[in-house]
Amino acid sequence: KNEVEQSPQNLTAQEGEFITINCSYSVGISALHWLQQHPGGGIVSLFMLSSGKKKHGRLIATINIQEKHSSLHITASHPRDSAVYICAVRGGTSYGKLTFGQGTILTVHP
């Protein structure tokens, strides 16, 4: 079993729909990252969370440390949101070594 599990692996939505991607982890962490990767492209850091909730534009990320679970929500989805979304956790080391989930492939149709 992977230390970081994401669901779903693939997600298809129509433009305007509300989207949720889930991340569960099995190790103690000091922070959790949500990353975005476009096909053939680089990686962009969307959020870093250690507790609670963060919002940036149409993106919302939440984390429940007790339940070892995080969610990434996209409101009013748009085709340009189509990408791979990756959850990554920083463990108990004193530096930022990340362990990654497998990623969720999101496709938003117009």
For other proteins, the binding residues (CB under 8 A) are 30-31, 33, 35, 40-45, 48, 50, 86, 88, 90, 93-103
Residue nearer to other proteins on the CB measure, 29 or 108: 29
Contacts of 30 (CB under 8 A, 6+ apart): 50, 90, 91, 92
Nearer to other proteins, 43 or 76 (CB): 43
Local structure of 80: helix, strand or coil: helix
Kindly tell me which of 27 and 43 has the beta carbon lying closer to other proteins. Answer: 43
Q: How far is Cα 44 from Cα 85, in angstroms, rounded to an integer?
A: 10
Q: How far is the CB of 45 from other proteins (least distance, A)?
A: 6
Q: Show the tokens assigned to 21.
A: 């991607």
